[in-house]
Amino acid sequence: MGFFDKLKTGLGKTRNNFNNIFSNFRKVDEEFLEELEENLIMSDIGVDTSVKIISELRTRIKKENIQDEENVKKALREEMAKVLDIPNKELKLETKPSVILVVGVNGVGKTTSIGKIANRLKKDGKKVVVAAADTFRAAAVEQLDIWANRAGVGIVKRAEGADPASVVFDAIKEVKEQNADVLICDTAGRLHNKKYLMDELLKIEKVIDKELPNASKEVLLVLDATTGQNAIMQVKAFKETVDISGIVLTKLDGTAKGGVVLGIVSENQIPIKFIGVGEQIDDMEIFDSKDFVEAII
């Protein structure tokens, strides 16, 4: 199964909802548009974003005199893609070394995402080092070690409970010695202990800024697509402390309401950079808005 087919399977629930609406299509009228808007909201897109998309669609229908089902679908896809197409979708790794700081709550797939991104970068010919700076969670370091080995990249790790910022400091030293291209830093994700967690993130950022002041830096927030509107709340929580440059969306594999992707981007103006649709090391792709909306409609 190719990546697009996996994406279509993962977004099956959302696509079926749209198929049901279009299967009853008779004509483009206000009743049809209201039903479409309701479906967008039910797909976890969020009220404001859904209203905006249907408003733009309504304008286009009048202006272009759209009357048939296929052209309504095409226009809807284009309006949804517009929401997703915001600048800076590519990873900015312009310096040697560059840094990727990976944040997110526990259980969202942070460790697997780091392994998959490391694997992609290595395939692109880059020398990668991973810093196991989630030292609070039992087995977090061991899990990252397994993924680093799978990807064939270096890892800097310390004992459980070690100071996360000191792990990152040691990893930066290792990156310089090895003349590596990219450092990927894992971080702790216990939002219920938010103040402590965010303080640790700030300490890690200070170490990076001090030791690699001119390095390109990405801050990627990993979100679980199955958590719906809760994912949007997580973005807001992390934005208070770190300058998030992109989102990695995981678990788009069956239970997710795909619309949450549009809600996240629209409400925060942060691009989705990667999406994951499975557990294998290659089950992560650069986000493509056109593919995404075609998998839904």
Sign of CA dihedral 208, 212, 218, 222: negative
Residue reference for tokens 């890690």: 204
51-84 pLDDT, tens digit per residue, is 999 999 999 999 999 988 889 999 999 999 999 9
**Is the model's pLDDT at 192 over the cut of 70?**
no
- The token duo for 22 is 């279009």
SS3 231: helix
For residue 146, give Cα distances in angstroms to 67, 103, 140, 151.
55, 19, 10, 9
Whole-prediction pTM value?
0.90
225-252 pLDDT, tens digit per residue, is 888 778 888 898 888 888 999 999 988 7
